[in-house]
Amino acid sequence: MKAILNDPAGAVIGLDFDGTLSPIVPDPAEAVIHPKAPAVLARLGARVRALAVVTGRPPATVLELGPGLADVPGLVILGHYGFERWENGRISAPPPHPGVPRVEAELQLLLDSLGLREVMVEDKGRAVAVHTRRAPDPGAALAALREPLAKLADKHDLVVEPGRFVLELRPPGMDKGQALSLFLTERAARSVLFAGDDLGDLAAFEAVRACGLPGVTVCSGSAEVTALTELADLVVDGPEGVVELLDELASAISAA
């Protein structure tokens, strides 16, 4: 943190979206960014080298769920775990993976055969996520899905990304760690902060440790995930705590 405060112009701030900037809600389509986040990010974005939202969501969805984000100075969204990038109003991405529509074509039959009720399928375009949060027993439904979804992903050359009551089938070859590392190099960062809440953020935590820069990892704490709590430099209380921390950081930089 000291390095960021002493030299904000060299700092890159990386932030996960769901569970970090946006409180967890039962329906993914109903998620919305913390009301104070866009203004806080705008203050911070004006002072640091770069701000990146590094997320499993498509960038277009992040912009829908985060009104005001498009106006944050210098913001980059590295969506789909880094496959799809939004910057200055433009989206760039490689061609979609052919396995995703094939998985979608087989998925409903598989879910029916497992007799899983109230499991929700989220079509993300470049990936498909199966959510169990609204199932009668979310943990049991997730456990029942692990093996069949791993086989289905494997059959179509996809990988399974586990998260908070969700298993996502997505293309291999990129993760939040690689996305963050590439971004740090691109921006010639001199320090880094990354905040996340879920298993997919562990790769970004590792990237912070491996990059050789002064870095701080922040866990947006919850009762659902403990793996990050043990590794983080700082643990705050969910999105409310993350926004408060970023607000304090923006104020401290402005006062320096």
Ligand X SMILES: O=P(O)(O)OC[C@H]1O[C@H](O[C@H]2O[C@H](CO)[C@@H](O)[C@H](O)[C@H]2O)[C@H](O)[C@@H](O)[C@@H]1O
Indicate which residue of 7, 16, 157, 237 is catalytic: 16
H helices of 17-136, where? 37-45, 59-65, 99-114
Residue 137 annotated among the catalytic residues of the structure: no
Count other C-beta atoms under 10 Å from residue 121's C-beta. 13
Considering the complex, what minimum distance in angstroms separates the CB of residue 28 from ligand X?
A: 3
Task: Restricting to residues 133-152, name those near ligand X by CB under 6 A.
Answer: 133
CA atoms within 13 A on the CB side of 80: 27
Give yes or no for residue 16 binding ligand X (CB under 6 A). Answer: yes
Q: Around Cβ 5, how many Cβ atoms within 10 Å?
A: 14
Q: Compute how many residues bind ligand X; rule: CB under 6 A.
A: 24
| C-beta neighbour count of 247 within 10 angstroms | 17
Footprint of ligand X on 196-255 (CB under 6 A):
198, 200
82: contact with ligand X by CB under 6 A: no
Per-residue binding letters, 113-132, with ligand X (x by CB under 6 A):
---------x-x----x-x-
Q: Does 166 bind ligand X (CB under 6 A)?
A: yes
Nearest Cα residue to 208 out of 18, 14, 49, 74: 14
Residue 80 binds ligand X, judged by CB under 6 A = no
Residues 103, 120: Cα–Cα separation, whole Å = 15
Q: Which of 56, 59, 82, 221 binds ligand X (CB under 6 A)?
A: 56
For ligand X, the binding residue among 18, 145, 156, 205 (CB under 6 A) is 18
Contact by Cβ (8 Å): 204, 228: no
Instruction: Please pick, from the candidates 10, 12, 13, 17, the single residue that binds ligand X as defined by CB under 6 A.
Output: 17
User: Exposure string (b/e) for 83-119, b if CB count within 10 Å is 16 or more?
Assistant: bbbbeeeeeeeeeebebbeebeeebeebbeeeebeeb
Q: What are the residues binding ligand X (CB under 6 A)?
A: 16-19, 24-26, 28, 31, 55-57, 122, 124, 129, 131, 133, 163-166, 168, 198, 200
The catalytic site residues sit at: 16
